Chain A
Amino acid sequence: MDFVCNFPFFCIVLCLATGVISSVLKPKVAKAVSVTLVSVCLVCSFCVLFYTIGTGESFTYMMGHFPAPWGNEIRAGVLEGVMASFFCVIMLLSLLGGEKYLKVDIEEPKQNLYFVLINLLLSSLLALVYTNDLFTAYVFVEINTIAAGGLIMIRSNGHCILASMKYMIMSLLGSGLLLIGITLQYDLTGHLLMSNIKESIGALAANGEYTVPLTVIIGLMSVGIAIKSALFPFHAWLSDAYGYSTASSAAILSSLVSKAYIFLLIKIMYRVIGTDVFWDSKITNVFFALGIAGMLFGSFSAIKEHDMRRMIAFSSVAQIGYIYMGLGFGTELGMVAAVFHILSHAATKSMLFVACRGLSEVSGDKKDFSDLKGSGFRNIIAGVAFSVGAFSMVGVPLFAGFISKLYLTSAALEEMSVKMLVAVITLAISTILNALYFIRAVISIYTPRNEHYRIEGFRPGKTFCFGLACFMVINFVLGLASYPIINAIEQGLQMFS
């Protein structure tokens, strides 16, 4: 076994250990440790990605002295590599971009606890990506849920505490449904290891045994994860949680936490239930319908909003609708498009949240449209980054959002049916709606007003500029050089099944 195969395990255990150590460190040291940790994980994940692309197959890693059905196991393939490296990149840039505002938003003695949460969250994200065992996934879902709640709550004002309460209630409901689903499937198959479950469920489905419990299991797991990733009717917690928490938290929550759950769902589709059984169960149609509804209603709520941060939050509902619509197609191409949209949305949304915080900094710390007028001139880099993000969200060519919409549409045009027609029409309508509120936001920040907010001698922080510049580069890379990434996703999905 090559040494690279140890990297996933190293990253997870390192994150857990540094999380514990950070709780007794000074805030500055804890921040340095956390940034170093994320960078190390980034390098390791890229090594894993290139190793798996090189060998052309996935590998499993035994956690302990006992082989898989008895002990725990993690697994890494191309798609896991892509996801892990991408998560680390976004995490690093969100931390750097929002670093200046952490000092403002969080009480000084509690700042090191923020990095405890970040490290543990990263460990759970990596574990969710790499796990090959359904129960391990559940344990790290728990860490993920609590740490995400903490990230919202740590900016101790009324809004944030209320938002974290809403988040915890909804998210724990989702965890509970997922746990019931896992328990029921253990009763049917007697396994927790993904590949063994898939084998047993395939046999059960082929013999036509236990069809009712099987459907319920698929439903419970899907609904549980849909609640946690804020699919349309379950998005009540989202606007407050993203709208009021500190910039880094909002960026991390919107682009990593909800996406990790969707990745877990894809993993369950491919590696636990098996795509044939999953697509036969018709739950994909439910995903499709809710995704379509989310695309429209998320945009409507965003149009009504006067608060820029909450507008971006509601646009997340619409974008998650896109992803679920892609999953709902029930085709290989739809899955590829959905996974690519996970990447493009994560890269764009985190940039928007960080840039928006930068804009409101030069607008008297307010975030209403009227106050943000002209802020694009007062904080130039934030204005440019916000415009790039907005164009990407609308789907202007050159930007990441265009490619994902292109792939979603071509996945919809693959076969001729009413469902696909609905998808194409809704995509068109939703694009117009997106343009309505994002172009309005861009025009608003470039309307020269509110000169009284100008801070003399204001310079955006170095890490802030670096973070936003990297975000823009990633957006252009996803928009202009999408071919190798799509290839890697396709290869990874083939390794899954």
Chain B
Amino acid sequence: MKPRSDYELSLWRRLVRFVDGETLADVERRAEENRESDAKNQQMADAEAEKRFEQEEKEDREDRKRRLELEHEKEAKSLLEKYKNWPKEHGVKIFGRLYAVMAVLLCAIVITTLLVTVSYLPEYGSPDNPNNNEVVEKYNKDGLYDTGATNNVASMILDYRAFDTLGESHVLFVAAVCVMILLRLELTKDGKPTDVKRAEEENDRLYEPKNDKILQLSAKILVPMIIMFGIYVILNGHLSPGGGFSGGAIIGAGLILYVNAFGFEKAKRIMNRKNYAIISVVPLLFYAIAKGYSFFTGANHLESGIPTGTPGAILSGGLILPLNICVGIVVACTMYHFYTLFRKGGM
């Protein structure tokens, strides 16, 4: 509390001064000193406060700066991330879309070109088409006499153009070899299945219908009929529509049905690895040797000595019947083999 301005001149203060032995000047000096030190203190406090304030501000600024920097860095990082991930997230998508559009466009162009081309081709079935020439004429006119087969298609593929069909049956063989390379699981040296193979067979048993009575009964009735029909198609290949490729496919289907009904154990009695090797190799070899003989004699203008027989009889058509049988066996075995390979890695 601040005293009144005439406080020092009051009676009481005069008495006190008298008792203390002080003069008014002393008091004034002291007051002055007090004031000065107060001011000094004040100043110091101010300076301190200012300093503190400055420091705080500085810290604040640095903090903000750092924060800003951090933010910048973060932003840059996320931008980089975005940039890096762009091909994965958006690029692939855009490229995929572009790719799809281009693929569809390309397909459309090819399809249109082919359709336009077809419209320029000679009219279908017209008698004066260029492909009704001396080649077809001879096949139709002399086919029976040349080959002894009443089925013209068989005489064409197995006699006139037998070299192509020889190649074609080896296409089937090489395809079978490739599937074998990809899927066959090997046996150990003494013919026992390896662990992988055993696991695969164990796994396969889960899906195999076990002793399904309905399936077994119908298979019992159907399989002999299917196989008989296949054999009929093969044996009559030179007399009626059919032949090795179609008959073999029918027999193969019959074998697969049998395996599904009765399991691999029963089928193994006939169709095991050893037998498969023999029955796939022997027909193809016979084919190559027989046709090689026929090509050789033909090219050197020798008599082949293979009788063509009476047209229409079962034993006629020269080599066509044995070749049909060979092709049939190869096709049937290949189909069955494919089935076992895909199911459990081989017989």
Contacts and interface: CB of A to CB of B under 8 A. Distances in A.
Interface of A: 1, 5-6, 9, 13, 16-17, 19-21, 23-24, 61-66, 69-72, 107, 109-110, 113, 116-117, 120, 123-124, 127, 133, 135-136, 139-140, 142-143, 146-147, 149-150, 153-154, 156, 161, 180, 184, 186-191, 200, 210, 212-213, 216
Nearest to B139: A70
Given A153-B181, A213-B120, A64 B135 contact: no
B5 interface: no
B233 to A, nearest CB: 23
B168 interface: yes
A488 B280 CA distance: 43
A107 B299 contact: no
A-B pairs, 5 with minimum CB distance: A190-B131, A139-B167, A65-B298, A72-B163, A150-B178
B122 A187 contact: yes
Nearest to B298: A65
A180 B114 contact: yes
20 contacts: A9-B299, A19-B174, A20-B170, A20-B288, A21-B281, A23-B277, A62-B298, A65-B304, A66-B160, A69-B134, A71-B163, A72-B164, A110-B181, A116-B174, A116-B177, A136-B164, A139-B164, A153-B178, A188-B130, A216-B114
Contacts of A24: 277-278, 281
A312 B213 CA distance: 61
Contacts of A72: 161-164
B162 A147 contact: no
Given A17-B285, A20-B173, 19 more contacts: A1-B299, A6-B300, A16-B167, A63-B162, A64-B294, A64-B299, A65-B304, A70-B135, A71-B160, A72-B163, A113-B177, A116-B177, A117-B174, A120-B174, A127-B167, A135-B161, A161-B182, A190-B136, A212-B116
Interface residue SS majority, chain A: helix
Contacts of A140: 167
B166 interface: yes
Interface residues of B, number: 58
Contacts of B134: 69
Contacts of B299: 1, 5-6, 9, 61-64
B146 interface: yes
Contacts of B281: 20-21, 23-24
B234 to A, nearest CB: 20
Contact of A69 (B121, B135, B181): B135
B199 to A, nearest CB: 18
A317 to B, nearest CB: 21
